[in-house]
Amino acid sequence: MEHVDAWYEIAERKIPLGLILEDDAIFVPFFKEKFARMIYAAIHSG
């Protein structure tokens, strides 16, 4: 799937938040937890 297709899919399904990565992305240890904290902070920062 192309990145632009992913954007359209997110928009069409009215998904409030999405993460689109390159196919060769490498996740660092505890990525899920770190990402969740960053998203929480972004949403609650006003």
- DSSP states along 5-34: HHHHHHHHTT-S------TT--PPTTHHHH
Q: Token pair of 43, please?
A: 């949403």
**Which of 9-13, 14-18, 30-34 shows the lowest per-residue confidence on average (mean pLDDT)?**
14-18
- What is the pTM (predicted TM-score) of this model? 0.64
State yes or no: pLDDT of 35 exceeds 90: yes
Q: Say which residue, 7 or 17, is predicted with more confidence.
A: 7
In this structure, which amino acid lies at residue 35?
F
Which among 25, 23, 44 is positioned nearest to 36, based on CA atoms?
44
Predicted local confidence at residue 17, as pLDDT: 86
